[in-house]
Amino acid sequence: MKYVDEFRDPALGEVLAGEILGLVEPGRHYKFMEVCGGHTHSIYKYGIDDLLPANVELVHGPGCPVCVIPMGRVDDGISLAHQPDVIFTCFGDMLRVPGSDGTLLDAKAEGADIRMVYSPLDALRIAKANPDRPVVFFAIGFETTAPSTALTLKRAKAEGVSNFFCMCNHVTIVPPLRALLDSPDLRLDGFIGPGHVSTVVGVRPFEFIPAEYGKPISVAGFEPLDVLHAIHMILTQLKEGRCEVENQYARVVPYDGNPRALQVMSEVFELRPHFEWRGMGFISQSGLKLSEAYADMDAEIQYGVPGIRVADPKACQCGEVLKGVIKPWECKVFGSGCTPERPIGTCMVSSEGACAAYYNYGRFAREREVV
């Protein structure tokens, strides 16, 4: 099997859509949250929302790592980039995320040595090629990307690379989901669980959602039939009166995740007491920092950062979008003051951002929903 074409079969999509229609109760409104930004892009790229009954609504969650980073952390990164002799490295999406006074791309134009990398290993190679200059890697992502950062730091330590540092912005998926479920702003009937994160953590960490909150969840892949199948599984649970964690993405996701990746993460990282999320405030035990054994590679310790909390621009409603309270097109500046070319908020910058998905694939979503 190719594991791609089979999951884009339009005939099977029509069959699934018909079965979904047969599962919904007339007069009942269903609201499901797709946690991961990758799902949001699949939904609008392939028109999955158009295949669903009108009373099945999908809302977008905080599963995009670039989207959830607050402006203060961007400012901290810019501050590090301006340190003497520092070579600052980060993923491409981060270059355009606005801080309170510009972006990393603006700082680069002002003379800071900021370089885009595709992996932390690229940053380590830069450090080896420039032994007389400190190299900082701006680490970002959920548990999906944290193991690669951890393994790179382990390699740097083993090879005695003393000029390689990390500014850790890795976050974990469970605490923000708890925060959402505890929020009075949002009422959900179920979750489409994050496939990428689950390849590392497995599906076991999500058992609290049905156990404590009575909401079904299906961890899903990212092809159109994956998403439709996950919605079908959730609706089947609701119709049958069940509430549990199901693994739609079993071809990739083990129930207990990747033990080796989890072990490496536990060696290199520890939980922060509090970490700020864009639009959600401080969430306890939700961020990672370097453990004591790797403190000498922690850029925040070695250089210090301002650490000032910065409020989002008043026009930006990324926080409400990330919490599923509003749809991207309901933001006051969507598509006018805020576009991918000139973004105000992170959800329009990131390749997994909900606003970027609506802008690129769902330009007429507003008209459809209003009608």
Read off the pLDDT of residues 182-240 as tens digits, 9 standing for 90 and up: 988 778 999 999 999 999 999 999 999 999 999 999 999 999 999 999 999 999 999 99
Domain ranges of the chain: 5-65+174-247
DSSP string, 13-51: HHHHHHHHHHHSPTT--EEEEEEEHHHHHHHHHTTHHHH
Q: Exposed/middle/buried for 100, CB within 10 Å: 0-12, 13-18, 19+?
A: middle
Per-residue pLDDT at 364: 47
HSE, side-chain direction, 13 A CA sphere, residue 252: 17
Choose the weakest-confidence range: 20-29, 173-182, 333-342.
333-342
With bands split at pLDDT 50, 70 and 90, how would you rate the model's confidence at 2?
Answer: low
One-letter amino acid at 97 equals V
* β-sheet bridge partners, residue 276: 282
**Domain 5-65+174-247 = CATH 3.30.420.40:** no
Per-residue pLDDT at 363: 53
Q: 67: Cβ–Cβ under 8 A, 6 or more apart, which residues?
A: 37, 278, 318, 322, 346, 347, 349, 350, 352, 353, 354
Place of tokens 């946690």: 35
Per-residue pLDDT at 164: 98
**Torsion sign over Cα 129, 133, 134, 138:** negative
| Rounded Cα gap, residues 214 and 229, in angstroms | 21
- The answer to whether the beta carbons of residues 326 and 57 sit under 8 Å apart is no
Which three-class secondary structure state does DSSP give residue 109?
helix
Q: From 65, 69, 81, select the one nearest 305 (Cα to Cα).
A: 81
CA angle, 78 as apex, 36 and 298 as ends, to 5°? 80
Query: For 210, which DSSP code?
Result: H
Record the pTM. Answer: 0.90
Write b or e for each residue in 231-258: b if 16 or more Cβ atoms lie within 10 A of its Cβ, otherwise e: bbbbbbbbeeeebebbbbbeeebeeebb
- β-pairing, 164-170 with 135-141? parallel
Query: For 293, which DSSP code?
Result: G
Span 296-343, pLDDT tens digits = 999 999 998 888 888 877 888 888 888 888 888 888 898 888 888 888
Phi, psi of 192 (to 5 degrees): -95, 110
Say what percent of the chain tops pLDDT 90: 69
- The answer to whether the beta carbons of residues 136 and 297 sit under 8 Å apart is no
